[in-house]
A and B are shown apart, each in its own frame.
Chain A
Amino acid sequence: MITKPDTATDAVVDIVEDVFAALREVRAVTERLRPRESGDLAALRMVLFERLGGLIAGIGFIAAPGLLRDAPWFLEWWQESPSGPVRLVRDLDPSSGAFYDYTHWGWYADPASGAERTVCGPYVDLLCTDEYALTLSIPVRVDGTFVGVAAADVFVRRFEVAVLPVLRGLGSPAFLVNADGRVVASTTTRHLTGTIYRGGGLPCGDLPLALVELRHGLPTMGS
């Protein structure tokens, strides 16, 4: 039984939406907390720990610089480890010369400038894990004011495990590309993850992802 392309894109949307559902929970709790100090965010941990695992290798809230009285730059960010959730503790002061002015990263900058759902990457995540990852994020607002983002890291290798069965079901070589044309997951060596594909594809709902299927070696969608 061969999957139809739109069934495949629906399946991809379901996989990704599951992560966004977790982020909406994080957002709802953060909005209720109305955080003013870094300690206020400790109350987020229950929901973060619950959602960590499966596709989600790291999850948390990233405060807008200056939001918290005691910490101008702050992440309440937790990652998986064999011994349970581990807090990412980083010296986030950009003046210490590191990578940590997070306002430049797409997963922060896009929601900060109004995007409702952002899928960033795949990219080598220099802030948290040095792994090849996707970062999904949504804005958090209190009384209409942007106060930071709820975000989750999905390692590309785990995403691949989740979506490859869907792509294989299509019966011909296929791959997913992000909005920039970067291949995210693929069933063909001709277009490997991380490479650039300059052509169109079938959109996955309103996510910044598109499916490209090669029939007789040619894309079935415009190019």
Chain B
Amino acid sequence: MFGDKYCYDMAAAKEVRVPEIAGSARSAAFAPVDSTARVDAVVRRLTDAILLGLVADGEQLPSEAELAARLGVSTVTLREALMALRQRGLVETRRGRGGGSFARAPREDSLGVPGRLAELTVEDLRDLGDHYAAVSGAAARLAAQRSLPSDLAPLKRTLVAMAAAATPGEARRLHGRFHIEVAAASQSARLTQEEIRLQADIGALLWLPHTTQGEDDEAIAEAVERGDGDLARALAERHALAAVGHLIELRLRYPPEVRHDH
């Protein structure tokens, strides 16, 4: 279902060896990243760790040298990743005595996401991805066929706001809004209502920050603007599947202690 290009790119094989005991998820967050992984992979790993509360809000991260060593990346790569995390407000760096890098968890994420994710099985998530890809793909295709420049103005405003978003929470809301606006440009009230329901239901999970999200959104907007329905659909489907694929990876990596089935 997830082509390797769109798959969460941390070596999945490594993760299955992680014993499922308390505290293991935390050490998994700092497990070595394979040598081909770049800044994005580090950003994603640390983002997940912070949003999922594996690193507590306000907790000091290990020194750059130590963290780079534990993640198996160069300090240059790590510094770039930390810069990206600072821009997203997930890490704060203080200079001087008692300085260092500190995790900054947006409260809503640190409380809401792991609980919500734990309620869903991998199969639930896979099915959710199928539904979401169908809705957003169809909406993007119709938007490309039917939208006029005036319909694209809100999308573009949202992309600009997204690029300037101060917090991950705000960026996530804007992502949701972007996808609802694409759906509205399809001229289909039903597809729009479905997209709104999906965003309300799982938006907080779906838009856990991804490094490629903003670029995906811009590519979708461009395809819609050019009137390329097939491309818009392909991009939107891929985007949805990649986002859900990321959630499945998270779900597999950080299993909840117990799942109560009915």
Contacts and interface: CB of A to CB of B under 8 A. Distances in A.
Interface of A: 97-99, 104, 106, 122-124, 126, 130-132, 180-182, 193-196
B188 interface: yes
Contact of B189 (A104, A132, A182): A132
Contact of B184 (A124, A193, A195, A196): A124
Residue of A99, A106, A124, A195 ringed by the most chain B CB atoms within 10 A = A124
A104 B146 contact: no
Given A194-B146, A196-B146, A123 B151 contact: yes
B170 to A, nearest CB: 6
A130 B181 contact: no
Contact of B196 (A123, A130, A196): A130
Interface of B is mostly: helix
A97 B184 contact: no
Interface in B182-197: 183-184, 186-189, 192-193, 196
Interface of B: 145-146, 148, 150-151, 153-154, 157, 170, 173-174, 177, 180-181, 183-184, 186-189, 192-193, 196
A24 B139 CA distance: 37
A182 B148 contact: yes
Nearest to A120: B150
Contacts of A195: 145-146, 187
B171 to A, nearest CB: 10
A38 B11 CA distance: 58
B149 to A, nearest CB: 9
25 contacts: A97-B170, A97-B173, A98-B173, A98-B177, A104-B154, A104-B157, A122-B187, A123-B184, A123-B187, A124-B188, A126-B181, A130-B193, A130-B196, A132-B188, A132-B189, A180-B148, A180-B150, A182-B148, A182-B187, A194-B146, A194-B187, A194-B188, A195-B146, A195-B187, A196-B146
Contacts of B174: 97
B150 A124 contact: no
Contacts of B151: 123
A99 B186 CA distance: 17
Given A97-B170, A99-B177, A131-B189, A106 B184 contact: no
Contacts of A196: 146, 148
Residue of A97, A126, A182 ringed by the most chain B CB atoms within 10 A = A97
Contacts of B196: 130
Contacts of B177: 97-99
A126 B192 contact: yes
Nearest to A133: B189
Contacts of B150: 106, 180
A123 B170 CA distance: 26
Contacts of A180: 148, 150
Contacts of A99: 177
A124 B145 CA distance: 16
Nearest to B171: A97
Given A97-B174, A131-B189, 16 more contacts: A97-B177, A124-B186, A124-B189, A126-B180, A126-B184, A130-B189, A130-B192, A130-B193, A132-B187, A181-B148, A182-B148, A194-B187, A195-B146, A195-B187, A196-B146, A196-B148
